[in-house]
């Protein structure tokens, strides 16, 4: 029987206790406590007391056995937990030792080779970035008749394309979209092979339609040039 610091009496035994005399109940209680403390069974001349003691003893033994089983499982769980901790700690120590040995095994020559490779790669990347930046900043124009527009000169338009855009959408609108495309190219590094088409697509996307006002504006702006031509 487990060494419990308590004994468990079930209430379903109250009916039998009430059937005993006070003397019988006293003997039974003393016998139960003695059994719980020392494991010694009650030996009474009273048959009724002995019978009831045997019933209660079976219940006490069942409680003690469950307690023993619970203690055994808890001990097993604790043992497994400690073993896992030790195994994990041992594994970490072995891994650190392997890493240290690997570092010591590296020869100075191997280290120098890796450093040279890294320096060479870094130098190559730097040159590539420099060349890319130079090519990006160099603005070329395959069309000899095209002119550069915008604050950063990223928009190329022929005079005919420029005049046609102004004639369709007005000078103010066209200049605004030229600056938009120019700023976008400068910010992203992107270039457009046909800036006129790009501006028209942006206008279409923003649902800017051609206007008769733009045509009159174009005629008014061109009127002084027409007068000069006729006068000459």
Sequence-distant (6+) residues with CB within 8 A of 169 are 177, 203, 208, 210, 211, 214
218 pLDDT above the threshold of 80: no
Q: And the tokens for 97?
A: 């030792």
| pLDDT, position 122 | 55
Q: Which residue has the higher pLDDT, 125 or 161?
A: 161
**pLDDT of 127 above 70:** no
Give 212's pLDDT tier (boundaries 50, 70, 90): low
Cα–Cα distance, 148 to 43 (Å, whole number): 120
Question: pTM score, two decimals?
Answer: 0.35
Contact 63, 49 (CB under 8 A): no
Determine the pLDDT at residue 140. Answer: 46
Mean pLDDT over each residue of the chain, to the nearest integer: 78
Torsion of CA 68, 74, 80, 82, to 10 degrees: -120
What confidence score (pLDDT) does residue 134 get?
44
| pLDDT per position as a tens digit, 42-97 | 988 899 999 989 999 898 888 888 888 888 888 889 999 888 888 888 887 767 76
Looking at the predicted structure, is the pLDDT value of residue 9 above 50? yes
How confident is the model at residue 105, as a pLDDT? Answer: 55
pLDDT at 219 over 70: no
Task: Name the token pair of 95.
Answer: 């891994």
In the chain, domain spans:
1-105, 107-138, 146-231
203 has a pLDDT exceeding 50? yes
Cβ-in-10-Å burial (0-12, 13-18, 19+) of 48 comes to middle
Measure the CA–CA gap between 124 and 142, rounded to whole angstroms: 30
Q: d(Cα 206, Cα 101) in Å, to the nearest integer?
A: 66
Of 71, 64, 22, nearest in space to 46 by CA: 22
Question: Given this model, what pLDDT does residue 227 score?
Answer: 44
Handedness of CA 121, 127, 130, 136 (dihedral sign): negative
Alpha carbon distance 87, 71 (integer Å): 24
């Amino acid at each position: 029987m487990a060494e419990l610091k308590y004994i468990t009496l079930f209430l379903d035994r109250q009916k039998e206790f009430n059937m005993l005399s006070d003397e019988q109940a006293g003997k039974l209680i003393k016998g139960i406590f003695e059994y719980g403390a020392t494991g010694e069974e009650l030996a009474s001349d009273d048959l009724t007391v002995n019978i009831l003691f045997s019933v209660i003893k079976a219940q006490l033994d069942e409680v003690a056995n469950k307690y023993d089983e619970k203690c055994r499982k808890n001990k097993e769980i604790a043992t497994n937990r400690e073993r896992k901790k030790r195994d994990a700690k041992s594994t970490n120590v072995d891994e650190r030792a392997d890493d240290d040995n690997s570092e010591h095994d590296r020869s100075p020559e191997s280290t120098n080779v890796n450093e040279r490779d890294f320096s060479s790669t870094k130098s190559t990347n730097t040159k590539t970035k420099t060349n890319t930046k130079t090519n990006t900043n160099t603005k070329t124009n395959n069309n000899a008749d095209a002119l550069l527009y915008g604050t950063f000169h990223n928009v190329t338009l022929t005079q005919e394309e420029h005049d046609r855009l102004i004639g369709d959408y007005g000078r103010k609108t066209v200049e605004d979209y030229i600056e938009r495309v120019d700023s976008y190219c400068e910010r992203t590094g992107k270039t457009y092979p046909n800036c006129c088409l790009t501006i028209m697509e942006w206008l279409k996307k923003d649902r800017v339609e051609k206007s008769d006002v733009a045509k009159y504006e174009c005629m008014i702006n061109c009127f002084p040039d027409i007068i000069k031509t006729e006068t000459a």
